[in-house]
Amino acid sequence: MVLRETVKEQIDTLNEYQLSRIADYILSLKVQAKSAARATPFWQKATAKERADNFLEWVSGLKQTGLTLSDEA
């Protein structure tokens, strides 16, 4: 938390132009974080339960034909 307080103190000393630059930088960090989150596939970041729930949801959406495989298959 020391870093957070130090940054807050530094922000208080900046002029409007500098604050605008900081705001732009923060926005770019947020965009990078979002694109990094999208770049990670669901199955890599999801828990086992989340993956199982997602699979069951997917299966429930499949078209039901009434056809099944034989026991030998």
Over the stretch 52-69, which tens digit does the pLDDT of each residue have?
999 999 998 888 888 888
Range(s) of the domain holding residue 33: 2-59
Looking at the domain assignment, is residue 45 inside a domain? yes
Return mean pLDDT, the chain.
89
Looking at the 3D structure of the chain, how many domains does it have?
1
Looking at the domain assignment, is residue 41 inside a domain? yes
Looking at the domain assignment, is residue 55 inside a domain? yes
Looking at the domain assignment, is residue 23 inside a domain? yes
Quick one: how far is CA 51 from the chain centroid? 15
Band the pLDDT of 7: cuts 50, 70, 90. Answer: very high
Looking at the domain assignment, is residue 73 inside a domain? no
Q: How far apart are CA 11 and CA 51, in angstroms?
A: 43
Looking at the domain assignment, is residue 71 inside a domain? no
1 has a pLDDT exceeding 80: no
27 has a pLDDT exceeding 90: yes
Looking at the domain assignment, is residue 67 inside a domain? no
How many CA atoms, within 13 angstroms, populate the side-chain half-sphere of residue 69? Answer: 3
